[in-house]
């Protein structure tokens, strides 16, 4: 509503004097301020804030009258009354300056438009020269306690219990009359009023008094602390015509202030706000304004009694100060906005406490943009004395008096509550606008849109740009929510000079156009053009004043104004795009003064001073060159029976809200019609509905021009204490609850929503179910706008920035007060509404509402908040709750897919003590964990594991952790796997509460293995070596005992063993399923020591049973295309035909990159685009050359252009022709072609079609570069581990003859078992057979390695023995994957490693006659019972 901004400004009085000012009083328009010191009366001007005149009493007169005490202005600013200590009233005439009319004059540059206008142009911008003339004093012969100004009279209360009525002119016999307080009858209400004097009022006088216009009475505080309200029963004030009412049970009143708009009185020690009951006339307590001990502990000892209360000029906020100092600001119904008793106002940045500023007098400036404050005398004296001590020289005894001026910005809703202002947040300061909309990309570029650039340029402060704590641009739902910055628009200085202060501001619904109205005329601004539009003719601007406010309708500004020339009220519409001129305006004459204006769709609603409401229709006319609007009166509604005073109406709104929404109004177009009027009458929300009880006329039967609007029913009160109302005319079938609701802001009571209730699925509604329901809910911000579809409230809040520039006891203002900024805030409210509906057993409505909002990005957060709030309230309640809500909330959340996440996130954000209560309502965490596993939601399952670890014994959490670990391994969730390893270790080592940090030696594992493919410039052989060493050292850290005691060492050793067993089992499972790529990822990501494991498994699981299916699986996993050869290079016509058929059926797919990418892959890594490298560059090279070649091309990630291919082939021409041992030599003629000719002119291409096809085939025969590097790495690993069969398979897919030569060379070694030799031989034979029939592309390579094959056949035939074949058949049986022979993808029953969900016990498997395992690999005894059924016929030796 109101927000403090910047630092306060200190105004120094130019006249030095020993006296301190102690009282300030504004004139009725607040343009002049009277400031009193003991013998001096000064008048200050508001803008510029300067001293105009000072009247100094002579010593003789001061001795006669006594010091000055209080002052009051006559309502027309022509006189000032001053009360003195000795009971005199001094009256002063305020006289204009005669010839020197102005003290200060603006100086304009030559040729400025403002110089050539009307002669009186200066008076608006200059401080006028005034003088003060004292008239005859009036002696009341008793000390004066209070002054109150009326239109013609001045009321003076004296300490002898009298009430004096003085005429301002002081002339005639009725110039002075006195009424004794004891003659006024007082009672608790007007009904039980009795006549006669009140004897109990003997010796009592009125301490403080204020007049209330809208109640036509006087609020008083008596000297004994009682509160009362005195009403004159007739127009004149005489003793027998006054009647008093007490406020019950109040005896400690100190002061009183009246709010005319809301008819409230705020008084006394603890700040009570009273209203007058209209039926009985008694004083009713409306609400209390108090600082909560939650935010301000021990507050009552710090503040003392209330000293001053000031309502703002628009009556929407109240400022309070206490005897012990400090300022606090509340909205009219008690929403707390600012307090200077805590946080940065009360403490310095080093934590030391500041003294709160004590205030002797304060008042609001024009339109509430400033608060003028006079600090206490003693405080200033003390500061000055300290300065003297520090400076070491006595200063002259004259001090410069200081006035503090606090700056405020306020919401546009306070004075102009039109509908378009409600959908955007618009704040206005005295010379700028703050809006939340605008293009977020331009926020950083505009110089004045810093969230903290509220400093006015005239502040000579040392800190012009404080650090901005939140300059990051976070894109939200929309630009309304998109970032924390304000879009700041400076109001045009030319308009401000002559029309300050700004009284109304409006923004259009799109948030792109603003309009402001000051004293005269108005101006508007567009964010599109970044320009202001002012009246071209200044006389037109000065001849109108906006009275009822502004609003936007499409691209027209709608203005309710008074025309000074015609002296009448008018409704005008100005088009945004045309010039601002009356020639382009459409003008409608009005019969009475307009107080409020609002727009609904194509209608304007006006509230007028005669308490009537007028509805006008608006229609755009495009017949003339400039578009104009047609305005027609539709309906008039008189409200004088219900409204006691027109000034009490705060806002008037047309809405489409009806009490029986959705039942009588089936047609959607009717639902958006103007169905009701909402009137905020002094905080009471009154609704007038259209009366549909009579006979209804069908739409079609009435011609459009004479459609008569339905009358309105009598008003109904919907709510009390309402500050703002939000409603929208948009409709959305999916979010009907939110869009057809009515939102209310109710001060300290928070917000209320009047929600429509819809029958579900068009069922007949229950007769007992009401059509709407009012739900209250609390929010932590002051609401300024409601985003209906997004279920958000937008607001603003004051933030402070400390500045400790100058140390020392004489602190400048900048150090006493923090720099204040205004931050944008928002809050979700959906969980409050859902909870309220569930409390009222309206679960079906809550479900419909929640489902309509389930797509919102913060919907999971809404659910969490709802569980969290209910849990905190119920679990921490001291009394038993008869009907707990948590089970209902839990049941409600299960309707949504995010149930499991919501519960676990909420549990992890609440303390452990509440978990039992939570899980008693939502279910056992073990069951929820298993649900997560079934739903494959592993991250959520991991969160439940932490819950289980705290709530269950270690064995249970280990069991569940193992389940999760196995599933994560299977799905390749490596981060989760790493966490699980750490978690399992923490359980084992007994550190139940704090899992240990990841061991430092594990660091290489995260970058090891496959990671180095990302920077491929390093040599493969080097990196592989370094990685293996890293892994060996890691294995040692896993298994080495490092515990404080022997028992701890044993536990940790067993834990590491347990984890290693699971890792080994997973590696075995991957290898059995020929998932080499997954095995590589697994090893690299988890730091699994692959080479050492493969060494142990060399003759068991690391065997290849079926070379052909393994080769096919590698082609698929690594996106490696099957080799094809061009038709032209085949000699045999039979082969030729065979090749064609094969290509057409199944191999053609592998040539195109697209089909490769889309092929169904069983791999965790994302497929990468295959880059086309010819495999020719690998032929005839040693491994070292291969390394350098692959690193040379590592940076060519994208497919190369045609030129690059050709140059690549020419470079490799020698190796190409030498390395081709068979029919490939036919293509050497291609290489000898004249490439320059091809490049220059493609028409003279000398290549045959077959040759070109061959080249393209060769390029297509190579897989992605990344796959090539990965295969090379795996080849290196298998070679190190001595798994020769796998080396052969990888050598085949890479078509690297050197690898095959090397392996066949190794086979002669005596260490190689005979079955391996046999397996390699049989495998190569099987591949040859398969290549001959199904994949002819492999034939050239097989022909190339023919000599090695021949050598292998010979050596094998020499040594062949019958029993050598048995292990092979046995191992094929043990493989457990029968499907490998034919299918590329294994069948589901082959994945038996995963099939047993609780396969926690890992048997130690020893094949007969295999390597013996190291002792550390023995299993725990409890693992005896369960053996994985996939282990085949292995023998199990258990220790």
Check pLDDT > 70 for residue 787: yes
d(CA 1139, CA 1127): 7
76 neighbors 64 (Cβ within 8 angstroms): no
Confidence of residue 1127 (pLDDT cuts 50, 70, 90): low
Q: Which residues contact 739 (CB under 8 A, 6 or more apart)?
A: 728, 730, 731, 732, 788, 789
Surface-to-core class of residue 1420, CB atoms within 10 Å of its CB (0-12 exposed, 13-18 middle, 19+ buried): middle
CB contact burial 246-278 (16+ within 10 A = b; e otherwise) = bbeebeebbbbbbbbbbbbbbbbbebbbbbbee
722-781 confidence digits (pLDDT tens): 999 999 888 888 888 898 899 999 999 999 999 998 887 666 656 656 788 999 999 999
Cβ–Cβ contacts within 10 Å for residue 795, how many? 22
In the structure, what pLDDT confidence band is assigned to residue 561 with cuts at 50, 70 and 90? very high
What local confidence, expressed as pLDDT, does residue 1154 receive?
38
Residue 329 confidence (pLDDT) = 94
Looking at residue 446, what is its pLDDT? 34
- Residues 768 and 397 sit within 8 Å (Cβ to Cβ): no
- Confirm if 514 and 506 have CB atoms less than 8 A apart: yes
Which structure tokens are listed for 1316? 């391996």
**What is the band of 481 on the pLDDT scale with cuts at 50, 70, 90?**
low
What digits encode the pLDDT tens for the residues 808-863?
A: 556 677 678 899 999 999 999 999 999 999 999 999 999 999 999 999 999 999 99
Q: What pLDDT is attached to residue 492?
A: 94
pLDDT per residue over 1-49, tens digit each? Answer: 899 999 999 998 877 778 889 999 999 999 999 999 999 999 999 988 9
Residue recorded with tokens 């707390």:
336
- pLDDT tens, residue by residue, 1312-1327: 888 888 899 899 999 9
Q: What is the C-alpha to C-alpha distance for residues 187 and 182, in angstroms, rounded to an integer? A: 13
Mean pLDDT for the chain? 76
Instruction: Record the tokens describing residue 534, joined without a space.
Output: 């002012």
Taking residues 1396-1421, report their average pLDDT. 37
DSSP per-residue letters across 1-28: -EEEEEEEEEEEEEEEESPPP-EEEE-T
Phi, psi of 708 (to 5 degrees): -95, 135
Residue 146 is predicted with a pLDDT of 94
Q: How far apart are CA 874 and CA 888, in angstroms?
A: 13
Q: Taking CA 543 as the corner, what is the angle to CA 542 and CA 544, rounded to the nearest 5 degrees?
A: 95
What's the whole-model pTM score? 0.76
The b-or-e profile of 417-456 (16+ CB within 10 A means b, else e) is bbbbbbbbbbbbbbbbbbbbbbebeebeebeebbbbbbbe
Q: How many whole angstroms separate alpha carbon 262 and alpha carbon 333? A: 10
Tens of pLDDT, residues 1073-1119: 999 999 999 999 998 999 999 999 888 888 898 999 999 999 999 99
Lowest mean pLDDT among 264-268, 846-850, 942-946, 1118-1122: 264-268
Task: Please state, in angstroms and rounded to a whole number, the distance separating the CA atoms of residues 71 and 42.
Answer: 11
Determine contact, residues 1179/1343, Cβ cutoff 8 Å.
no
Classify residue 1311 by burial, with Cβ atoms within 10 Å: 0-12, 13-18, 19+: exposed
Pairing of strands 242-246, 186-187: parallel
Provide the token pair at 317: 């906020």
Whole-Å CA distances, 276 to 231, 264, 1231: 11, 8, 106
Residues 1428 and 1393: beta-carbon distance below 8 Å: yes
215 membership: H or E segment, kind and range = none
What is the reported pLDDT for 305? Answer: 86
At residue 187 the predicted structure's pLDDT band, cuts being 50, 70 and 90, is confident
Per-residue confidence (pLDDT) for residue 482, from 0 to 100: 55
And the tokens for 671?
């639902």
| Residue 402 predicted with pLDDT over 50 | yes
Mean of pLDDT values over 64-84: 94
Q: Which residue did the predictor score with more confidence, 708 or 514?
A: 514
The answer on pLDDT for 1233 being more than 80 is no
Q: Is residue 475 pLDDT above 50, yes or no?
A: no
**Is residue 449 over pLDDT 80?**
no
**Top-confidence residue, 1084 or 1351:** 1084
**DSSP class of 425:** -
Q: Which of helix, strand or coil describes residue 44?
A: strand
The more confident residue out of 353 and 148 is 148
* Tens-place pLDDT, residues 351-364: 888 888 889 999 99
* Cα distance between residue 1140 and residue 1148, in whole Å: 10
Q: Cite the beta strand spans of 333-491 per DSSP E.
A: 336-339, 359-364, 370-375, 399-411, 426-428, 432-435, 487-490
pLDDT of residue 36: 94
Angle between the N-to-C axes of helices 938-951 and 974-988, in degrees from 0 to 180, rounded to the nearest 10: 10
């Amino acid at each position: 509503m109101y927000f403090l901004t910047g630092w306060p400004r200190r105004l120094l009085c130019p006249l030095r004097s020993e006296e301190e000012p102690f009282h300030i009083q504004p004139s009725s328009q607040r343009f002049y301020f009277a400031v009193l010191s003991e013998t001096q009366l000064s008048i200050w001007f508001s803008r510029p804030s300067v001293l105009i005149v000072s009247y100094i009493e002579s010593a003789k007169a001061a001795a006669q009258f006594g010091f000055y005490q209080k002052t009051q202005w006559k309502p027309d600013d022509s006189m000032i009354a001053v009360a003195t200590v000795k009971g005199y009233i001094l009256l002063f005439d305020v006289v204009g300056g005669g010839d020197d009319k102005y003290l200060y004059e603006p100086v304009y540059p030559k040729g400025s438009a403002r110089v050539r206008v009307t002669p009186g142009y200066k008076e608006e911008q200059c401080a006028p020269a005034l003088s003060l003339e004292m008239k005859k004093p009036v002696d009341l012969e008793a000390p004066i306690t209070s002054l109150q100004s009326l239109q013609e009279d001045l009321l003076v209360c004296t300490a002898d219990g009298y009430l004096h009525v003085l005429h301002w002119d002081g002339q005639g016999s009725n110039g002075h009359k006195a009424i004794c307080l004891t003659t006024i009858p007082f009672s608790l209400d007007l009904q039980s009023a009795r006549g006669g004097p009140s004897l109990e009022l003997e010796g009592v006088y009125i301490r403080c008094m204020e007049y209330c216009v809208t109640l036509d009475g006087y609020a008083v505080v008596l000297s004994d602390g009682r509160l009362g309200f005195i009403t004159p029963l007739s127009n004149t004030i005489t003793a027998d015509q006054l009647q008093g009412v007490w406020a019950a049970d109040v005896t400690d009143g100190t002061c009183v202030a009246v709010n005319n708009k809301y008819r409230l009185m705020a008084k006394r020690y603890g700040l009570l706000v009273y209203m007058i009951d209209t039926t009985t006339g008694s004083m009713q307590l409306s609400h209390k304004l108090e600082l909560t001990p939650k935010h301000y502990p021990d507050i009552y000892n710090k503040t003392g009694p209330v000293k001053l209360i000031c309502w703002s000029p628009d009556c929407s906020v109240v400022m309070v100060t206490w005897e012990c100092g400090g300022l606090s600001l509340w909205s009219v119904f008690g929403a707390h906005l600012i307090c200077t008793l805590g946080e940065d106002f009360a403490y310095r940045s080093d934590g030391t406490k500041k003294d709160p500023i004590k205030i002797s007098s304060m008042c609001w400036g024009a339109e509430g943009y400033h608060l003028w404050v006079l600090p206490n005398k003693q405080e200033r004296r003390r500061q000055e004395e300290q300065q003297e001590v520090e400076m070491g020289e006595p200063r002259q005894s004259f001090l410069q008096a200081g006035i503090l001026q606090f700056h405020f910005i306020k919401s546009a809703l306070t004075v102009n509550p039109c509908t378009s202002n409600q959908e955007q947040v618009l704040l206005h300061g005295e010379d700028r606008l703050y809006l939340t909309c605008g293009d977020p990309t331009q926020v950083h570029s505009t110089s004045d849109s810093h969230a903290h650039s509220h400093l006015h340029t005239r502040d000579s402060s040392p800190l012009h740009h404080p650090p901005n704590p939140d300059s990051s641009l976070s894109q939200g739902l929309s630009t309304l929510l998109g970032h924390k910055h304000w879009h700041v628009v400076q109001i045009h200085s030319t308009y401000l000079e002559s029309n300050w202060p700004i009284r109304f501001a409006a923004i259009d619904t799109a948030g792109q156009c603003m309009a402001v109205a000051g004293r005269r005329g108005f101006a508007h601004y567009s964010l599109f053009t970044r320009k202001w539009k002012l009246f071209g003719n200044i006389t037109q601007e000065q001849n109108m004043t906006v009275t009822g406010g502004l609003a936007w309708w499409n691209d027209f500004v709608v203005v309710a104004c008074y025309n000074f020339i015609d002296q009448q009220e008018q409704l005008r519409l100005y088009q945004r795009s045309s010039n601002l001129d009356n020639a382009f305006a459409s003008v409608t004459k009005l019969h009475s003064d307009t107080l409020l204006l609002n727009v609904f769709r194509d209608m304007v609603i006006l509230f007028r001073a005669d308490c009537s409401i007028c509805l006008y229709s608006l229609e755009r006319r495009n017949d003339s060159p400039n578009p104009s609007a047609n305005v027609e009166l539709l309906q008039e509604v008189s409200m004088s029976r219900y409204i006691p005073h027109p000034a009490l109406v705060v806002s008037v709104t047309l809405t489409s809200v009806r009490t029986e929404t959705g039942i009588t109004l089936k047609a959607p177009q009717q639902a958006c019609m103007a169905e009701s009027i909402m009137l905020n009458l002094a905080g009471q929300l009154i609704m007038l509905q259209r009366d549909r009880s009579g006979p209804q006329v069908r739409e079609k039967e009435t011609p459009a021009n004479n459609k008569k609007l339905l009358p309105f029913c009598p008003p109904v009160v919907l709510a009390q204490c309402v500050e703002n109302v939000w409603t929208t005319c948009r409709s959305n079938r999916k979010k009907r609850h939110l869009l057809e609701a009515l939102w209310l802001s109710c001060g300290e009571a928070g917000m209320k929503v009047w929600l429509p209730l819809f029958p579900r699925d068009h069922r007949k509604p229950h007769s007992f179910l009401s059509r709407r329901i009012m739900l209250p809910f609390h929010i932590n911000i002051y609401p300024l706008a409601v985003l209906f579809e997004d279920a958000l409230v937008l607001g603003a809040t004051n933030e402070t920035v400390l500045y400790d520039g100058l140390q020392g006891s004489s602190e400048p203002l900048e150090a006493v007060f923090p720099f204040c900024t205004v931050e944008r805030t928002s809050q979700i409210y959906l969980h409050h509404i859902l909870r309220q509906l569930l409390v009222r057993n309206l679960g079906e409505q809550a479900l419909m509402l929640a489902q309509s909002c389930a797509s919102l990005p913060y919907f999971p957060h809404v659910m969490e908040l709802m569980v969290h709030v209910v849990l905190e309230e119920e679990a921490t309640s001291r009394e038993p709750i008869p009907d707990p809500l948590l089970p209902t909330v839990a049941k409600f959340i299960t309707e949504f897919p995010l149930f499991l996440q919501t519960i676990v996130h909420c549990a992890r954000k609440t303390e452990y003590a509440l978990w039992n209560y939570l899980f008693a309502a939502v279910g056992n965490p073990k069951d929820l964990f298993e649900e997560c596993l079934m739903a494959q939601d592993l991250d959520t399952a991991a969160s439940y594991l932490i819950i289980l670890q705290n709530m269950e014994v270690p064995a249970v959490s280990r069991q569940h952790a193992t389940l999760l670990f196995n599933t994560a391994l299977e799905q390749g969730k490596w981060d989760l796997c790493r966490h699980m390893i750490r978690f399992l270790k923490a359980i084992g080592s007994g550190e139940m509460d704090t899992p240990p940090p990841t061991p430092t030696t594990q660091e290489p594992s995260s970058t090891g293995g496959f990671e180095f493919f990302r920077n491929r410039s390093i040599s493969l052989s080097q990196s592989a070596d370094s990685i293996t060493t890293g892994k060996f050292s890691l294995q040692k850290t896993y298994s080495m005992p490092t515990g404080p005691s022997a028992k701890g060492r044993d536990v940790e050793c067993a834990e590491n063993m347990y984890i290693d067993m699971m890792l080994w089992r997973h590696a075995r499972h991957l290898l059995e399923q020929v998932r080499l790529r997954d095995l590589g990822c697994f090893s690299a990501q988890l730091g699994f020591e692959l080479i050492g494991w493969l060494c142990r498994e060399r003759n068991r699981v690391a065997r290849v049973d079926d070379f052909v299916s393994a080769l096919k699986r590698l082609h698929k996993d690594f996106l490696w295309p099957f080799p094809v050869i061009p038709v032209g290079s085949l000699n045999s016509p039979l082969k030729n035909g065979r090749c064609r058929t094969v290509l057409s059926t199944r191999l053609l797919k592998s040539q195109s990159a697209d089909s490769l990418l889309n092929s169904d892959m069983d791999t965790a890594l994302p497929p990468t685009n295959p880059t086309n490298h010819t495999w020719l560059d690998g032929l005839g090279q040693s491994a070292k050359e291969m390394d350098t070649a692959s690193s040379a091309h590592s940076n060519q990630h994208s497919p190369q252009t045609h030129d690059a291919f050709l140059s690549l082939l020419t470079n490799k021409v020698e190796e190409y022709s030498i390395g081709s041992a068979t029919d490939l030599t036919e293509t050497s003629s291609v290489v000898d072609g004249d490439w320059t000719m091809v490049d220059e002119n493609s028409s003279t291409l000398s290549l045959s079609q077959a040759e070109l096809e061959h080249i393209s085939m060769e390029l297509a025969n190579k897989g992605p570069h990344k796959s090539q590097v990965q295969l090379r790495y795996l080849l290196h690993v298998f070679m190190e581990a001595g798994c020769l069969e796998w080396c052969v398979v990888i050598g085949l897919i890479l078509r690297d003859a050197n690898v095959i030569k090397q392996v066949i060379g190794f086979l002669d070694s005596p260490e190689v078992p005979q079955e391996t030799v046999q397996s390699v031989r049989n495998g190569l034979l099987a591949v040859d057979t398969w290549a001959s029939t199904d994949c002819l592309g492999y034939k050239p390579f097989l022909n190339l390695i023919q000599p090695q094959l021949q050598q292998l056949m010979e050596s094998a035939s020499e040594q062949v023995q019958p029993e050598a074949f048995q292990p092979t058949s046995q191992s094929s049986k043990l493989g457990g994957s029968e499907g490998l022979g034919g299918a590329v993808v294994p069948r589901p029953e082959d994945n038996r490693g995963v099939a047993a969900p609780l396969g926690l016990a890992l048997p130690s498997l020893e094949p007969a006659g295999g390597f013996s395992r190291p002792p550390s690999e023995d299993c725990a005894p409890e693992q005896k019972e369960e053996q994985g059924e996939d282990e085949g016929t292995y023998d199990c030796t258990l220790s």
